């Protein structure tokens, strides 16, 4: 294999987020930076780079005339234009941005506002019920600004704040536009997913973000004419860095999805060329496509034959797009790049979409790495891997076992500053040599790709002392159409003094009904009969000490956090 870092793409150097937007205005002044809707179901309207830059400066000027420099500004809202404006109006001179998960309950919102010593809360009308319960209970908050015009004297109007800042700007006020930005100072504070008690506040500086942007886009080619559909929540650093700041940096256009139920409709309206997804989203598209294909044996045969021919004759992307036009039409007809992150992706699903003519790659990141640590390139990729370490990142395996598996640790300019007001956890995560301990286990293959096998905290220690990775077994179970979700754990059998590998499975009832030819829901025995076959197939691919010994049926979905990851404990 050639050097996978050959022919990296040229990128413009940026030192802070003000550089990012000002570069955008210089190079792409009229290129729309966003496509937004003023009302649900309406038409997408473009917002130019110049307008966005002007709005940032207007709101930032208001902020700095109403609170001191270095203030904390929290955003509590769905993805919308005002979110994008508030973010850079804060980081580009005002102080530190604190993006909050829009799905948080009252107690968590209040806790995070308190922990962050928040000065301003910018929120949307959709969050008014929670804000009403929070109002007056966080001593540090000086202003609540509503993105929507509502008749409530307790709250300031976003549009009026913008107007006031714009007037000051026009009168020559340069308090924001000429404010000093220290790229080493904390200007982003991100709470990790989890319960309030467990969530950590990750401190990032602008050097972290800018280095991540430059490294990431040196590995994947993004064209200024690309249009992205934003479907993931913006408080996640994956979407924020890669789907927002990265696109401002590269001169592309971001269309705001109206919500998960509108993805299909918005794909047809926007006809995007690129999208960021989490694996579960792509799996849903895959299942939908395969359900339609398999409903007609002739269609299934035609598709399988087409894939074999296209792969054997090394058809170009253009030829594949024509050959599999119906599938491309599902994504709007212009989709060329799908980037996956947040969880492992089944290699066969990646291969399927690649065979269709999509460039489909996955990356690996953590909030503490701002967020990308490794990424598959468009020229060099392995579907079973999480990608290559970003240029400028040193990735090592700590204490590898006989199979070369150990904990991934990393060092680079994208490493976070530490956990806010949490020196104990910071000392655990960042060692004295500056390496961040990710908590993820795996190995680096001969070509330099990172292969992740599981989470350190999830590992089951078998009686023979060997490590069992639940994620490996869960992946094998997921290959069965009858398994919707599963969690594998080690349960102590005190009588036998042994660890019993146990699979708790939430079944796919529709698939089981289809297999059994039922027009009613199957009973528990029928479900377990199907699942036993699924478990047996998984066990056939596992060594003895890894085999599932006990199966537990679960008839409801597993509880998940707001990132849609199963909460194991």
Task: Give the DSSP letter string of 310-373.
Answer: HHHTT--HHHHHHHTHHHHHHTTS---EEEE-SS---HHHHHHHHHHT-EEEEEEE-GGGSSEE
CB-neighbour burial class of residue 193 (10 A; exposed 0-12, middle 13-18, buried 19+): middle
pLDDT of residue 305: 95
Q: Around 44, how many Cα atoms within 13 Å sit in the side-chain half-sphere?
A: 22
pLDDT of residue 367: 95
| Residues whose CB falls within 8 Å of the CB of residue 390, separated by 6 or more in sequence, listed in order | 212, 215, 216, 219, 372, 373, 374, 375, 412, 414
Evaluate whether 18 touches 219 at the Cβ level (below 8 Å): no
Does the pLDDT of residue 316 top 60, yes or no? Answer: yes
CB-neighbour burial class of residue 318 (10 A; exposed 0-12, middle 13-18, buried 19+): exposed
pLDDT of residue 392: 94
pLDDT of residue 187: 98
Distance CA 113, CA 104 (A): 12
pLDDT of residue 566: 84
Average pLDDT, the chain: 94
Question: Residue 443 pairs with which residues in a beta bridge?
Answer: 451
pLDDT of residue 363: 97
| Residues whose CB falls within 8 Å of the CB of residue 422, separated by 6 or more in sequence, listed in order | 200, 201
Binning pLDDT at 50, 70 and 90, where does residue 563 land? low
User: According to CATH, what is the number of the domain 278-456?
Assistant: 3.40.50.12780
Distance CA 366, CA 344 (A): 13
pLDDT of residue 196: 45
Binning pLDDT at 50, 70 and 90, where does residue 278 land? very high
The more confidently predicted of residues 303 and 2 is: 303
Distance CA 202, CA 191 (A): 6
Kind and range of the H or E element at 483? Answer: strand 483-493
pLDDT of residue 18: 98
Q: What CA–CA distances, in Å, run from 532 to 71, 477, 535?
A: 57, 11, 5
Distance CA 458, CA 217 (A): 33
Over residues 80-98, mean pLDDT: 98
Binning pLDDT at 50, 70 and 90, where does residue 195 land? very low
Measured in whole angstroms, how far is the alpha carbon of residue 404 from the centre of its chain?
28
Q: Around 385, how many Cα atoms within 13 Å sit in the side-chain half-sphere?
A: 19
Distance CA 304, CA 324 (A): 11
Comparing 55-59, 400-404, 535-539, the range with the smallest average pLDDT is: 400-404
As a whole number of Å, the end-to-end CA separation of the chain is 42
Evaluate whether 505 touches 551 at the Cβ level (below 8 Å): yes
Does the pLDDT of residue 552 top 80, yes or no? Answer: yes
Residue 263 structure tokens = 């993805």
C-alpha gyration radius of the chain = 25
Comparing 155-159, 418-422, 472-476, the range with the smallest average pLDDT is: 472-476
Does the pLDDT of residue 491 top 60, yes or no? Answer: yes
Report the candidate in 169, 212, 541, 192 with the shortest Cα–Cα distance to residue 372. 212
Over residues 421-449, mean pLDDT: 96
Distance CA 502, CA 511 (A): 23
Binning pLDDT at 50, 70 and 90, where does residue 51 land? very high
pLDDT of residue 569: 66
Region for residue 58 given its phi and psi (left: phi exceeds 0; alpha: psi -120 to 50; beta: otherwise): alpha
What percent of the chain stands above pLDDT 90?
86
Q: Where in the chain is the domain with CATH 3.40.50.12780?
A: 17-270, 278-456
> How are strands ordered across the β-sheet holding 201-205?
156-157, 143-146, 120-123, 71-76, 95-99, 186-191, 201-205, 418-419
| DSSP strand pairing (253-256 vs 32-36) | parallel
Q: Where in the chain is the domain with CATH 3.30.300.30?
A: 460-553
pLDDT of residue 413: 96
Helices (H) and strands (E) in the chain, counts: 19, 26
Binning pLDDT at 50, 70 and 90, where does residue 501 land? very high
3 state DSSP class of 131: helix
Report the candidate in 431, 438, 477, 474 with the shortest Cα–Cα distance to residue 456. 438
Over residues 524-535, mean pLDDT: 94
Distance CA 396, CA 118 (A): 37
CATH architecture of 460-553: 2-Layer Sandwich (3.30)
**Residue whose entry in the numeric block shows the structure tokens 């170009």:** 316
Q: What CA–CA distances, in Å, run from 202 to 10, 154, 191, 341, 525?
A: 30, 31, 6, 19, 47
Measured in whole angstroms, how far is the alpha carbon of residue 359 from the centre of its chain?
18
CATH architecture of 17-270: 3-Layer(aba) Sandwich (3.40)
Q: What is the DSSP letter of 239?
A: I
Over residues 308-318, mean pLDDT: 94
Over residues 381-393, mean pLDDT: 96
User: What's the pLDDT tens digit per position in 279-292?
Assistant: 989 999 998 999 88
Contacts 24+ apart (CB under 8 A), 553-558: 553/504, 553/505, 553/507, 553/524, 553/527, 553/528, 554/504, 554/505, 554/506, 555/506, 555/507, 556/506, 557/484, 557/485, 557/506, 558/485, 558/487, 558/506
């Amino acid at each position: 294999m050639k050097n996978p870092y050959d022919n990296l793409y040229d990128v413009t150097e940026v030192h802070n987020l003000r550089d990012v937007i000002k570069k955008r205005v210089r190079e792409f002044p009229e290129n729309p930076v966003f496509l937004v809707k003023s009302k649900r179901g309406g038409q997408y309207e473009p917002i130019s780079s110049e307008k966005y830059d002007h709005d940032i400066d207007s709101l930032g000027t208001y902020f700095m005339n109403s609170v001191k420099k270095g203030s904390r500004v929290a955003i509590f809202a769905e993805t919308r234009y005002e979110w994008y404006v508030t973010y850079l109006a804060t980081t580009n001179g005002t102080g530190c941005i604190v993006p909050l998960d829009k799905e948080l309950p009252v107690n968590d919102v209040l806790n995070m506002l308190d922990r962050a010593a928040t000065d301003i809360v910018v929120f949307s009308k959709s969050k008014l019920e929670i804000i009403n319960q929070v109002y007056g209970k966080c001593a540090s908050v000086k202003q609540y600004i509503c993105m929507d015009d509502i008749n409530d004297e307790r709250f300031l109007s976003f549009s009026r704040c913008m107007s006031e800042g714009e007037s000051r700007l026009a009168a020559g006020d340069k308090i924001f536009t000429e404010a000093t930005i220290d790229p080493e100072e904390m200007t982003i504070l991100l709470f990790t997913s989890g319960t309030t008690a467990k969530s950590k506040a990750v401190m990032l500086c602008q050097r972290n973000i800018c280095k991540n942007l430059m490294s990431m886009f040196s590995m994947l080619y993004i064209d200024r004419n690309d249009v992205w559909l934003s479907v993931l929540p913006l408080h996640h650093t994956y979407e924020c860095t890669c789907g927002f700041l990265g696109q401002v940096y590269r001169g592309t256009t971001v269309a705001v999805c109206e919500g998960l139920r509108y993805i299909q409709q918005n794909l047809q309206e926007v006809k995007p060329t690129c999208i960021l997804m989490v694996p579960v989203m792509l799996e849903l598209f895959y299942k939908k496509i395969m359900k339609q294909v398999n409903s007609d044996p002739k269609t299934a045969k035609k598709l399988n034959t087409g894939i074999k021919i296209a792969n054997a004759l090394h058809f170009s992307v253009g030829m594949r797009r024509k050959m599999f036009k119906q599938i491309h039409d599902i994504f709007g007809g212009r989709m060329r790049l799908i980037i996956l992150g947040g969880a492992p992706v089944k290699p066969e699903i990646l291969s399927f979409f690649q065979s269709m003519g999509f460039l489909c790659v996955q990356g690996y990141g953590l909030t503490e790495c701002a967020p990308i640590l490794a990424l598959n390139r468009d020229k060099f990729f392995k579907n079973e891997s999480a990608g290559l370490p970003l240029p400028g990142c040193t990735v090592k395996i700590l204490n590898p076992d006989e199979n070369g598996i150990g904990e991934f640790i990393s060092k680079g300019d994208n490493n976070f500053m530490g956990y806010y007001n949490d020196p104990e956890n910071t000392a655990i995560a960042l060692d004295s040599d500056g390496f961040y301990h990710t908590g993820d286990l795996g190995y680096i293959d001969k070509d330099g790709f990172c292969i992740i096998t599981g989470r350190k905290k999830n590992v089951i220690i078998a009686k023979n002392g060997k490590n069992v990775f639940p994620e490996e077994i869960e992946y094998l179970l997921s290959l069965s159409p009858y398994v919707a979700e599963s969690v594998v754990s080690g349960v102590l059998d005190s009588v036998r003094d042994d660890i019993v590998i146990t699979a708790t499975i939430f079944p796919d009832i529709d698939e089981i009904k289809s297999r059994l030819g039922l027009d009613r829901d199957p009973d528990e025995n029928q479900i377990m009969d199907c699942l036993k076959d699924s478990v047996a197939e998984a066990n056939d691919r596992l060594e003895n000490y890894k085999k599932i010994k006990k199966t537990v049926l679960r008839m409801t979905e597993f509880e998940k956090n707001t990132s849609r990851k199963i909460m194991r404990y």
